[in-house]
Structure 1
């Protein structure tokens, strides 16, 4: 799988990327546990959803769907920075469609994801520096 090409498609045409990745997931059972595909699908959901008007009901569906994919990726690999990143982004975005109580609950999930992503980033930086010393 050429992730560089897929990344370009996600960034330039998220709707097409969404369809392509969904097709991959439907055709290959193992793809449903591929962290790299799941966080990219979450990102495609976010980008496609945010290209729509705020009142468009499809936008909400895409944000919630993307949140599910991001959280799945994160649960498969808690050290994947991108899975953490898109979990935080989509949990935060989903709060736009929630009431105050749900927002507060999701705020805790968001804070945990951000804290964990900072921890993973710091760990990567340390490992990179250790290799140079």
Structure 2
């Protein structure tokens, strides 16, 4: 089979969904980490999780060379965040109400829309040889 076969494309889409879901689950658990300096609480877990979302989706889009694989990763990521935002069997929640929880619930989806919808930059044509000499 050629390298761009349907099975290779489906495999890359499935791997992207899986990577997005795993990152979404791990970041959902870690987004509540913070430290306090005096009276100020710094939500470093939320910042790290959102930066990681952007890095994951941008990296996948740049490496895979298109929107489809990045969109598949976004589906896995946003799906994991949405699933983990629901109350568990005992009533416990991983994303509590409040500013940090709201930002984490909405932030990954907004980042995903920006990364997937961002226009592709035109490819530069390679030139053979050096500068063109005037005759």
- Is the TM value for this pair above 0.5? no
Larger Rg: 2
| TM-score (normalised: structure 2) | 0.38
- Higher relative helix content: 1
- With CA pairs under 8 Å and 6+ residues apart, which has the higher RCO, 1 or 2? 2
TM-score normalised to structure 1 length: 0.39
Bigger proportion of residues as strand = 2
